[in-house]
Structure 1
Amino acid sequence: MTVTDPLELLDIAGLLSDEERQIQETVARFVADRVRPHVADWFEAGTFPRELALELGKLGVLGMHLDGYGCAGTSAVAYGLACLELEAGDSGLRSFVSVQGSLAMFSIWKYGSEQQKLEWLPRMAAGEAIGCFGLTEPDFGSDPANMRTRAVRDGDDWILTGTKMWITNGSIADIATVWAQTEDGVRGFLVPKGTPGFTTRTIKQKLSLRASITGELILDEVRLPDSARLPGARSLGAPLSCLNEARFGIIFGATGAGRDCLRTALDYANTRVQFDRPIAAFQLTQEKLANMAVDLNTAALLAVHLGRLKDAGTLKPHQVSVGKLNNVRKALAIARECRTILGASGVTLEYSPLRHANNLESVLTYEGTSEIHTLVIGQALTGHPAYR
């Protein structure tokens, strides 16, 4: 037997329901038709076509795991499988969907007022409005508790001052969820594009996530009414809970990137002839392929297991850290190893592994660095927080 998909090795599809497989296949077709023919050009140009937002909205993946307000209300596993297929196309595509649905939309869905939900969620689910999530700052990434962005009461209003950095969708967003320190702790605010004092800047010269827009948010005494505050967000736990939502998608997404790399390397190894044989027939190449397939399939098993826990309502933050740390690390190693099978051809955008490897360098760092997730797991094992 010869498998046509690396994940057939352990029959991962056999763990899924018919509905989950149908959702995965639908997203895979979209990626094949709309993304793969163009993504190398987007990556080279450093752009993300804004019209994709409307297409992704029509596909139904924006906030698909949320209930109501135009959202599909799918299972966590179904959402994860969509992320797998999106990141098989490119991490930038999955990042857009993840930030839109699991950060910007989730923050409104979980902590917003009914008025805020009705105003923004249907448009965001349709891709008519783009959101971003402003937590990270130039000097505070892993330590958001010490953020410098401040929100001060001024009568019935709030005055926000500060800077947010490395914000996906930042300079194209219609609405930003911005987190700030107040006298009563961290609070979240919705800042619409065009608000006086609110400006954005696109970050250029990136070597990673080039098919994704990354920006800086600058808040210079931005005045907002109290109705812009997310009333349900009353501590740093609110933005951290949003991050856990997005990290869950990464667990599946990284697996998709790894699968795309391994598929590419398998196809190449079976057609590239050296010494009168395809290089897939040599032991050293088969060892690489076998080791990568084992790592990829165990990552997929972990993703599905954590998805089932999330659907059951029992998934814990340290378990998300296990999934994010393991699956991104494994996917990055697979991408690098696949590039070696491709030889010199692997350094061009004709083939995906090095593009995925570049992207995964960012995925390894954002939404919790590998070091931070290691310490989260260490605390779960020992009971001792080692962050300081």
Structure 2
Amino acid sequence: MAPLLSLCMIVKNEAHQLRRCLTSVQPWVDEIILVDTGSEDDTVAIAGEFTPHVYAVEWQQDFAAARNYSLQWATGEWIFYIDADEELIVTDSHWRSQLLDQGIDCFSVLRQEAGTHHNWSDFANVRFARRQPGLRFVGALHEQLNTAQGKVGALKGIHLLHHNQQTQEQFLKKIRDRNIPILEQMVQRGDRRLMNLVCLGDHYAACGRTEQSRDWYHQALDAIAEDIEQQRLPQETTWLRHLLFWATYTAFEAKDYDTAQYYASYGLRYFNAYPPLLYAAGLIVFELGLPRGALPYFHRCLDLFSRGTYDRSEPFDRQWMTTQPAYSLGFTYMTLQEQERAITYFQKTLEFNPHYQPAQQHLQHLLSATAPSG
């Protein structure tokens, strides 16, 4: 009888964190398949402490190829993949029973950031797939399982904790020297998926290369222009939310409110629980001279955060559902001469970010103005 669950991993120079990862998953999987792509540290030796199934493959600047090599060794009914900088957190010891559901072909699992110094929201990512003919990873970078035709469930009782230990310098080096060349090669070969174009925009922006960044973002917008005009959802939606927020916020900053409204209204038609777009829409309404009309957008951002019901399809900066809408509510209520409410939301802003100076300054002014004299 085949085992239920096979863990498949690819690694390179992960000795500093691999033991934590494998310790977290070993009690819950039936076999561990680990493929090394050229480690020069103790990665392979540490892997050997947990599994006899350790293999090597030459790195070819292609993450999907390396992961697909790992799949050929798996014998489990289900495939699970994890990265060395992640940790499996189990909150329900019976979580594996969900894999017995014959009506589901793959499962997403939530991934959260460890610690408080990284401000990304948690998001759902497909990490479990039923092993069947044709199952493979696609994409040389930001690879994904080709599970588009299968029914996706949301796995409960576990989540992934991401331990990001990179410095900013290490992060920039990785995207400059590895990610950008791989992505550009993918695009040159005809892989113009929306996620590749948007990621190139993001990566060039992170490197401070604004002109190249805008060019890739605009190529992504051009790719979906007809869909937006026809008010239909593109076939590919990976990173679409982020792209629409970029287009909206960029137009807003340029005071091109017509364009900003165009992208915001389209985005909220399909993604009305995505806080960055809601926040941007509130800013637009405020700048158009309708401060009271902006309030529901900012309130909804905070409500989605407090209820935990925000769109988890892709990660975003948590400030768009915490600090920024709270501050904007304070500023809007101050504009409307509703001082007590303004004070409340400036205080809430500082609960999210105690060092947010605009809120500190406005709060100090309002408290001084409302303090009894004498």
Normalising to structure 1: TM-score of the pair?
0.24
Higher helix share: 1
Structure number with the bigger relative contact order (C-alpha 8 A, sep ≥ 6) is 1
In our comparison, the structure showing a higher alpha carbon Rg is 2
